[in-house]
């Protein structure tokens, strides 16, 4: 019997290899543990992982009284369909974005450094939620310790800029250079782990140019586009104008690069309330791993309603799924 490690396991393993702090290591190991198929042929790996997990927990406890009593605030377990992290200099509107789209208790203020710690909110998009994280500001000189660790682990990054600010070009440069200093390259495409040590991690990313409602901001938007448009996708926004925020949930959903698939038990109606969320490009095998957790080899055939098939068509287990497909798994 082969090990059949999931792409999620391999991804967590890759995160573990680049983890820099004990907290990042532990987070990656916990993810590996969750994703590891728990059967006979993986027993050796299970034992190794358990050993590494206990060593990582010990390292955190021994890392001084402070870290033993206080968890790393930047270790934010993912929830929902994916996680997106905001990055920006002070007062650009990060908290206004999270506050406007989620029920999270964020502090919006006209003075800088009003957000001392990250705050996670859930942005509803149709039948899923995307986790959006408000964060403390960064400046050319200062990044909160632990914050860049979150940049590497998350699913997508959004740089927020304030178009009403004279220093907007420098502020964006500050954010982008901190990101590239951490060997992260923002992309319009999929997240891609470094191919070799020292290479860059490709991370879905974009720049939200906020406060377009402020008179005169269009000049700054034009300059931003000229200077950074080739490097990063730029979307104008105003958190104070209703239409501005309406397109963000879909944007976030597209950034985390997942699809929703509905499982249908044979001879029954599909459960259209609770989609299974799998990465773009996932096949029936991958869905089966999500649905049957460790017992996926039981799935022998599948029928599909959805993209590019006749309703109820039999498909191979390596058939690539699409958003909103309905799948009947046969064991």
Ligand X SMILES: Nc1nc2c(ncn2[C@@H]2O[C@H](COP(=O)(O)OP(=O)(O)O)[C@@H](O)[C@H]2O)c(=O)[nH]1
- Residues binding ligand X (CB under 6 A): 88, 90-96, 108-110, 114-115, 137, 210-211, 213-214, 238-240
Task: Tell me how far, at minimum, the Cβ of 248 lies from Mg ion, in Å.
Answer: 16
SS3 at position 10: helix
Nearer to Mg ion, 20 or 167 (CB): 167
Task: Tell me how far, at minimum, the Cβ of 230 lies from Mg ion, in Å.
Answer: 29
- Contacts by residues 71-75 (CB-CB < 8 Å, ≥ 24 positions apart): 71/23, 72/21, 72/23, 72/146, 72/149, 73/117, 73/118, 73/146, 74/23, 74/118, 74/144, 74/146, 74/147, 74/149, 74/150, 75/23, 75/24, 75/26, 75/27, 75/146, 75/149, 75/150
User: CB-based contacts of 131: which residues, under 8 Å, 6+ apart?
Assistant: 76, 78, 79, 80, 82, 83, 84, 120, 121, 122, 123
Nearer to ligand X, 9 or 74 (CB): 74
Residue 96 partner contact from ligand X, Mg ion, none using kind-dependent CB cut-offs of 5 to 8 Å: ligand X
Nearer to ligand X, 121 or 275 (CB): 121
Contact 54, 30 (CB under 8 A): no
Contact 176, 232 (CB under 8 A): yes
Q: Tell which residue, 238, 252, 227, has the closest CA to residue 171.
A: 227
Nearer to Mg ion, 244 or 275 (CB): 244
Residue 214 partner contact from Mg ion, ligand X, none using kind-dependent CB cut-offs of 5 to 8 Å: ligand X
Residue 90 partner contact from Mg ion, ligand X, none using kind-dependent CB cut-offs of 5 to 8 Å: ligand X
Contact 84, 129 (CB under 8 A): no
Distance between CA atoms of 135 and 137, rounded to whole angstroms? 6
Residue 211 partner contact from Mg ion, ligand X, none using kind-dependent CB cut-offs of 5 to 8 Å: ligand X
Task: Tell me how far, at minimum, the Cβ of 113 lies from ligand X, in Å.
Answer: 8
Q: Does 115 bind Mg ion (CB under 5 A)?
A: yes
Q: Does 95 bind Mg ion (CB under 5 A)?
A: yes
Task: Tell me how far, at minimum, the Cβ of 134 lies from Mg ion, in Å.
Answer: 6
Nearer to Mg ion, 92 or 261 (CB): 92
Residue 284 partner contact from ligand X, Mg ion, none using kind-dependent CB cut-offs of 5 to 8 Å: none
Task: Tell me how far, at minimum, the Cβ of 95 lies from Mg ion, in Å.
Answer: 3
Q: Which residues bind Mg ion (CB under 5 A)?
A: 94-95, 115
């Amino acid at each position: 019997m082969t090990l059949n490690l999931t792409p999620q396991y391999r991804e967590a393993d890759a995160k573990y290899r680049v983890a820099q702090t004990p907290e990042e290591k532990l987070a990656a190991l916990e993810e590996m543990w969750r994703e590891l198929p728990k059967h006979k042929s993986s027993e050796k790996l299970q034992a190794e992982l358990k050993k590494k997990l206990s060593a990582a927990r010990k390292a955190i406890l021994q890392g001084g009284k402070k870290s033993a009593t206080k968890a790393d605030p930047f270790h934010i377990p993912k929830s929902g369909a994916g996680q997106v992290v905001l990055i920006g200099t002070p007062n650009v509107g990060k908290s206004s974005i999270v506050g406007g789209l989620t029920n999270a208790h964020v502090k919006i203020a006209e003075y800088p450094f009003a957000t001392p710690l990250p705050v996670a909110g859930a942005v509803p998009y149709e039948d899923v939620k995307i986790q959006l994280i408000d964060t403390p500001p960064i400046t050319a000189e200062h990044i909160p310790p632990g914050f860049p660790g979150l940049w590497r682990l998350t699913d997508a990054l959004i740089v927020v800029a304030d178009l009403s600010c004279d220093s907007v070009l420098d502020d964006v440069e500050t954010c982008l250079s901190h990101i590239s200093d951490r060997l992260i390259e923002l992309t319009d495409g999929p997240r891609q782990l470094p191919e070799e040590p020292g290479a860059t991690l490709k991370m879905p990313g974009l720049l939200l140019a906020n406060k377009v409602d402020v008179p005169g901001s269009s000049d700054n938007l034009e300059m931003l586009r000229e200077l950074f448009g080739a490097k990063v996708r730029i979307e104008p926004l105003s958190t104070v104008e209703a239409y501005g925020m309406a397109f963000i949930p879909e944007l976030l959903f597209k950034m985390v690069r997942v699809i929703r698939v509905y499982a249908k038990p044979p001879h029954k109606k599909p459960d259209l309330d609770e989609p299974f969320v799998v990465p773009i490009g996932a096949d029936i095998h991958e869905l089966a791993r999500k649905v049957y957790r460790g017992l996926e080899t039981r799935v022998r055939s599948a029928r599909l309603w959805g993209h590019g098939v006749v309703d109820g068509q039999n498909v191979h287990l390596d058939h690539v799924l699409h958003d909103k497909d309905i799948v009947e798994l046969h064991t």
